[in-house]
């Protein structure tokens, strides 16, 4: 068995959960079968398993609107994925950036197509801010790829329900295979020098956010919650890679307002930190907060839990399957309505509810410690990349046999 993984993100070019997924899945799959990764970038690993090759389209001659550059360059990369001969038994796609490449591989090389849904374009309408008319194209591309795939992997039960609701796919073609975590890498780590580097007071508890600056991650709601936090709390926002300049400006203005009205410290780390620093921040935080308005899985919650940090998260998507309320963290309702499923119905209420949940845990160090222990145990018991790789290989064997 040989698997070809097509992806935008792969180390060292990772900015989200899908990239982390491919990084660890490819590593564990390589213990079970041959794996080749084709990705966006200049990566090159010709020996060993997995092998890796990056592709980078030349945008220098583009005269299309800027918002369309990422769309057209992705299509060019996907074409280049296929002009190099494919000798795999199955092609496995990750995010819409790679979907065109998988369509070409299935039709031209006659191999089964497996697609993992990390998020769904119809449930991310804010992407129009980033892609303009290209968003309509990604809607079509995703629908086409999903409906012609031999298997569509959902990363949570709720994501599976969304797939079956939004697309014409047979139920038996949509298994649920969770994301995972490496608990040997993500483990409680004492590293006070990381706190010192970023100006974090080790004597005061802090709530941590880690993620991109995007509508989906709901970071603005956490920033708006700061005014309601206890004044001796530190807020550490490890937030970079904004989707658009407009979102970057909105975030900057919101943080400035929050600092003016808050007696505690707000520390904004705008660069994407290394994995080692991220683990240190998770480990030293009293509470981790994930205020996403849409989150098919939420791998960052596993990262925090593996580092024995309780989680305060919005009650959406896969986070309802990861976090056990009052045992490993707290879930906060968005009070969503069907006619407005992409935002908090009452954002000011959601911000206050986030703050109340954070305050409750921040004030109780012993409870946080107990939740942290329970969270790591849940990670060890349920979210193993080794087991996920076995499930994925079994799926490859099934679609190849069929």
pLDDT for 55-108, tens place per residue? 999 999 999 999 999 999 999 999 999 999 999 999 999 999 999 999 999 999
pLDDT at 335: 67
Mean pLDDT calculated for residue range 115-138: 92
- Rounded Cα gap, residues 79 and 258, in angstroms: 46
Compute the 3-state secondary structure of the chain and give helix, strand, coil in percent, each to the nearest 5: 45, 20, 35
What is the rounded average pLDDT for all residues in the chain?
94
Residues 211 and 76 in one domain: no
| Sign of the C-alpha dihedral computed for residues 71, 75, 80 and 81 taken in this order | positive
Q: Which two tokens stand for residue 320?
A: 């309802």
In a domain, 59, yes or no: yes
The reply to whether 155 and 288 lie within a common domain is: no
| One domain for residues 149 and 242 | no
Looking at residue 15, its pLDDT comes to: 82
In a domain, 187, yes or no: no
Please tell me whether residues 70 and 198 are part of one structural domain. no
Same domain? For 206 and 326 the reply is: yes
**29-52 as b/e: b if 16+ CB within 10 A:** bbebbbbbbbbbbebeeeeeebbb
The answer to whether position 143 is within a domain reads yes
Is residue 185 in some structural domain? no
Using the predicted structure, report yes or no on whether residue 46 has a pLDDT greater than 70. yes
| pLDDT recorded at residue 344 | 61
Cβ atoms of residues 213 and 219 within 8 Å? yes
8 A C-beta contact, residue 375 and residue 308: yes
The share of the chain scoring above pLDDT 70, in percent, equals 97
Q: What's the CA gap between 202 and 340, in Å, rounded? A: 41
Model's pTM, two decimal places? Answer: 0.84
* pLDDT of the residue at 289: 98
Q: Are residues 23 and 165 in the same domain?
A: yes
Burial 241-266 (b: 16+ CB within 10 A, else e): ebbbeebeebbeebbeebeeebebbb
> What residues make up the domain containing 9?
2-180+384-401
User: Is residue 302's pLDDT more than 90?
Assistant: yes
Write 246-255 long-range contacts (CB < 8 A, 24+).
246/129, 247/129, 247/213, 247/214, 247/215, 248/213, 250/220, 251/213, 251/219, 251/220, 251/223, 254/220, 254/223, 254/224, 255/223
Domain identity same for 99 and 200: no
130 and 203 share a domain?
no
- How far is Cα 331 from Cα 361, in angstroms, rounded to an integer? 12
**Residues 129, 12 within the same domain:** yes
Q: Are residues 163 and 294 in the same domain?
A: no
CATH of the domain at 199: 3.40.50.2000
Give me the mean pLDDT over the 265-293 stretch. Answer: 95
d(CA 205, CA 378): 24
Residue 336, pLDDT score: 53
Question: Partners of 208 in the beta sheet?
Answer: 236, 288
If asked whether residues 122 and 219 sit together in one domain, one would say no
Peptide bond into 254 cis (omega under 30): no
Is 186 domain-assigned? no
Q: Within this chain, do residues 173 and 206 fall inside the same structural domain, yes or no?
A: no
Q: How many domains does the chain have?
A: 2
């Amino acid at each position: 068995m040989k698997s070809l993984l097509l992806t935008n993100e792969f180390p060292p070019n990772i900015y989200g959960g899908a990239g982390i997924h491919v990084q660890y899945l490819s590593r564990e799959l390589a213990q079970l079968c041959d794996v080749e990764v084709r990705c966006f970038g200049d990566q090159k690993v010709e020996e060993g398993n997995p092998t890796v090759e990056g592709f980078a389209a030349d945008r220098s001659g583009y005269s299309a609107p800027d918002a369309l550059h990422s769309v057209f360059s992705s299509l060019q990369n996907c074409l280049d994925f296929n002009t190099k001969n494919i000798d795999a038994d199955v092609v496995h796609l990750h995010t819409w950036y790679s979907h065109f490449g998988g369509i070409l591989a299935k039709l031209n090389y006659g191999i089964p197509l497996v697609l993992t849904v990390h998020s769904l374009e119809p449930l991310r309408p804010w992407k129009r801010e980033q892609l303009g008319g290209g968003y309509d194209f990604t809607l079509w591309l995703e629908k086409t790829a999903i409906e012609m795939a031999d298997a569509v992997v959902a990363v949570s039960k709720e994501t599976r329900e969304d797939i079956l609701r939004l697309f014409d796919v047979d139920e038996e073609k949509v298994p649920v295979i969770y994301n995972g975590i490496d608990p040997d890498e993500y483990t409680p780590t004492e590293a006070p020098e990381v706190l010192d580097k970023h100006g974090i007071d080790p004597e005061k508890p802090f709530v941590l956010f880690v993620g991109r600056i995007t509508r989906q991650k709901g970071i603005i709601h956490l920033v708006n919650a700061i005014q309601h936090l206890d004044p001796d709390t530190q807020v550490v926002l490890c937030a970079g890679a904004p989707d658009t300049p407009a979102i970057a400006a909105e975030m900057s203005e919101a943080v400035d307002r929050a600092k003016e009205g808050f007696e505690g410290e707000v520390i904004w780390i705008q660069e994407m930190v290394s994995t080692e620093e991220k683990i240190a921040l998770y480990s030293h935080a009293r509470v981790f907060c994930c205020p996403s308005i849409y989150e098919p899985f939420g791998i960052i919650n596993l990262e925090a839990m593996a580092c024995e940090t309780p989680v305060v998260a919005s009650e959406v998507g896969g986070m309802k399957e990861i976090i056990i309320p009052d045992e490993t963290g707290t879930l906060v309702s968005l009070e969503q309505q069907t006619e407005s499923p992409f935002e908090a119905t009452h954002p000011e209420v959601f911000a206050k509810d986030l703050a109340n949940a954070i305050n409750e845990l921040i004030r109780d160090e012993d409870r946080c410690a107990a939740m942290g222990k329970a969270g790591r145990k849940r990670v060890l018991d349920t979210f193993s990349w080794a087991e996920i790789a076995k499930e994925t290989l079994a799926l490859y064997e099934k679609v190849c046999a069929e």
